[in-house]
Chains A and B, each alone.
Chain A
Amino acid sequence: MKNRNSDLIRRGRRREDLKAWLIMLPGILLMTFFVWEPLLESIRMSLYKTENVELVKFIGLKNFISVMGKSNFTQALTNTFAYTFWSLLIGFVLPILLAMLVGETVRGKGFFRTAAYLPNMLPGLAVIILWSAFFSGEKSGVLNILLAKLGVPTQTYLTRANLVIPIIITIATWKGAGATALIYMAGMASVNPELYEAAAIDGASVWQRVVHILLPSIKKLAGTLLILQIISVFQIMYEPMVLTKGGPDNASLSLMQLMWQYAFGGSMDYGKASAVAVIVTAILLVMTAVYSYFNNKESDWD
């Protein structure tokens, strides 16, 4: 009797398993076709001399050596880390502050929440074109018109090597901070209100409540968003491509843009382009692994 029951349970589980696999099958097929296969193909391509998309000859790591030996790679790598640095400086704290401010707002919370998210709804290219008019170095540039009212002479912005990356990150933050702030708001909303009440009864100031209750509550969420932000910024491409075209003198050239240049910038060297893509993936894998290591360690301590 017992054996019969366990047989029935096993059969039931198998049926459940089969259903689950069938539900997942389209997703798995799509992932295999559109994500994993191109990824593996890209790694394979990076080891070959190519003629447009065809693999001509296996050349080992020659594409990597050639790409990494060029000055524009060093420049693009440095720039990409600079993008990440500025993004963390400008774009990491701002959504948290935004979420806190909107969270603390009593009236019109919905309006501010929508207002913060609104730039994210605009098409990316439209945002860049909009800001290019703002930062135009001509007299007709919006910022120059505003500064002229204050008596400041016409300035150029997008032709200054030291300014372009912070400007691009400011634009990207303007567009994306609202969306990240919404996630933080959801995280903050899940904090037990009794903790705040207890802290208020104990006479804790706003600052103390933020430091001792709010921030520890969203720490894990912030950690996840941090690594997602780094991964996203590391792949920055269309913003510099449209706004500065990588200039001046490669000062805003990113690794992904360099990859695009190899593939479509006139030389059609898909092998070298794939090598750059593999390098970017490798760097991101290392960074994610380091983050996961420390995150797991911290979880163990908890």
Chain B
Amino acid sequence: MKKIIRALALILALSLALSLLAGCGGQSQSAEPAPTKAPEMSEELESELNAFSDEVIDPDLTCTITLGNWPADTAPASELAVFEGYKATMAKQYPNVTLVPDYYSYTLSNYVPMAKGGTAPSIFQPPFTDPQLLISQGLVGDVTDALAACGALEKFSPSYVEMLADENGRIYGLPRDGYVLGMHLNVALFREAGLVTEDGLPMIPTTLQELAEYGQIIREKTGKAGLVFPASETYGGWLFTNIAWNFGCVGDSALEYQDETGRWVCNFTSPEAIAAMEYMRDLRWKYDILNADATTTDWAGSHSLLGTGEAAMNFAADDSVDQPTANKGLPLEDFALVPFPAGPAGRYALAGGTCYMFSPDITPDQATALMAYLRILGKLPFLDDDIIAGMRADYAAKRDRGAPVLPAISAWNDEEYNAAKQAIIDEYCNVDMRLYNDFFDSISEGTITLRAEEPVFAQQLYRELTAVIQRVITRENADIYKAMNEAQESFQEYLDDEINNA
């Protein structure tokens, strides 16, 4: 008995010691983080951070703003240093604005109770799928006047205005960055499979058919998955919509559309949608190129599989190039970003992004302070020394941590601003652009058509389609039409409940 007591005491003592250690580690998380000087911060980055102007811009602006986009303590030190630099600059230029860093990672589920309870951070970053929902429910703050006052309102790209405004044209958000869906390649696996050109570059699959064939070769030659497809939750349906567009699910054959009476109609059983789902079936049962656990793989998992060399291709965008590289260790020379492959009916690519939105309780002063903060971050279309310093700091930080520094897809209609930004990016570029040119050229030359997400209840639509994909890739003899019809009925009922009969 004594022995048991002794053993238990030992376990308890160990647990207490571990909790104390954990507590020590967590202490800095609760309060305002101590200024961080990154040990691995390059001199270049340090000098960029020191380049911000110290001049006081508005000594009278007095308010407190909580910054929900503050990086966690576990973020790379260079990234933390950049944010500390922004904060210090803000303190100099607006001495009476108090900035409270907040470790907030937005999800719809955690945001709603915070907004309702008055504890939402002043600024946070939702994806472009959520603004309209948040605006319609009154859960975000209006910044139209603050934007107009600083002169950024007129430079908004109209497509973004549509995404971030209500029906009266009032603006509730700002684009953080836009993205275009393409494909990430693990070039090392392409090399191993012999899929390289004379220049040693990967042979890019330009069509969905080529994707299947190349994937098959990679599977045969390397034993690894040709394509990682995250067919869980809503991710599968999200990626499938892009494949479906390329099979012709646009216009009258779109997956959802409004008929002449204004009623929203779900259309999963068109010949084009069925053909797209048959393609998904072939990827699994004919070509066998998908990763083994596709139905449990999520967005992060798909990047992990590509980055660790378990898969050769992944449908992903230009804003997540740091995931397989800096985060998962794939060397930059083994990584490429290519355009979304064309289907039999066209070549579309999903365009979306992340935005900044604001607490529903912000005051006009807070809105002004938030615009000033975003200006320092370089997220407003203005060019001054501070902004250039901010951009340089951002790109230097990216380069420091081994993430590709790539041309940005701008959300602002301001040629001067866009050209200046590109010039700075060129200075910091750390990759062989031949591995990226096709992607950016396809957008600038218009060889690919950009398309926004499905217009209404996209997440619900994706969830329905993901279930069909899961059935199709786990059961060889699944009745595709029946599965699509069931999903269509279910989503139509949802549309009727939520819009048509509301």
A contact set with B: CB distance below 8 Å:
51-53, 66, 69-72, 110-111, 113-114, 132, 136-141, 154, 156, 158-161, 243-250, 261, 263-268
Contacts and interface: CB of A to CB of B under 8 A. Distances in A.
Contacts of A141: 292
B293 A158 contact: yes
B159 interface: no
A264 B108 contact: yes
Interface in B110-134: 112-113, 116, 129, 133
A70 B473 CA distance: 23
A268 B293 contact: no
B7 A70 contact: no
Interface of B: 3-4, 7-8, 11, 107-109, 112-113, 116, 129, 133, 137, 139, 223, 231-234, 291-296, 298, 310, 457-460, 462-463, 466-468, 470-471, 473-475, 486, 490, 493-494, 497-498
A52 to B, nearest CB: 5
Nearest to A263: B109
Nearest to B4: A110
A119 to B, nearest CB: 14
B490 A244 contact: no
* A-B complex: 4 closest residue pairs judged by Cβ atoms: A266-B459, A137-B292, A264-B109, A110-B4
Contacts of A268: 108, 112, 133, 137
Given A266-B108, A267-B459, A53 B113 contact: yes
A301 B137 CA distance: 59
Nearest to A66: B497
9 contacts: A71-B486, A110-B3, A154-B292, A158-B296, A160-B474, A247-B295, A249-B467, A266-B460, A268-B133
A138 B3 contact: no
B463 A261 contact: yes
A156 B292 contact: yes
A73 to B, nearest CB: 11
Contact of B139 (A52, A70, A114, A245): A52
A109 to B, nearest CB: 8
A214 to B, nearest CB: 23
Contacts of B473: 159, 248
A11 to B, nearest CB: 46
Given A70-B490, A248-B471, A159 B116 contact: no
Contact of B116 (A52, A247, A263): A52
Contact of A51 (B4, B109, B137, B493): B137
Q: Most B CB atoms within 10 A — which of A160, A263, A264, A266?
A: A266
Nearest to B497: A66
Contact of B295 (A52, A71, A132, A244): A244
A73 B434 CA distance: 50
Contacts of A110: 3-4, 7
A160 to B, nearest CB: 7
Contacts of B292: 136-138, 141, 154, 156, 159
A247 B493 CA distance: 22
B460 A71 contact: no
Given A136-B293, A138-B292, A159-B474, A245 B460 contact: no
Contacts of B133: 268
Contacts of B298: 245
Contacts of B470: 247-250
B111 to A, nearest CB: 10
Contact of B296 (A111, A247, A261): A247
B310 A138 contact: yes
A264 B296 contact: no
B296 A159 contact: yes
Contacts of B3: 110
Given A51-B137, A52-B139, A110-B4, A70 B493 contact: yes
Contacts of B486: 71
B293 A137 contact: yes
Contacts of A66: 493, 497
Nearest to A138: B292
Nearest to B486: A71
Given A52-B137, A70-B490, A248-B474, A114 B109 contact: no
Given A66-B497, A72-B490, A247-B296, 12 more contacts: A52-B139, A69-B493, A138-B291, A159-B473, A243-B296, A245-B233, A247-B466, A249-B470, A266-B458, A267-B460, A267-B494, A268-B133
Contacts of B8: 114
A70 to B, nearest CB: 6
A250 B112 contact: no
Contacts of A51: 137
B459 A249 contact: no
Nearest to B113: A53
Contacts of B231: 247
Nearest to A253: B467
A159 B466 CA distance: 13
Given A114-B7, A136-B292, A158-B296, A266 B107 contact: no
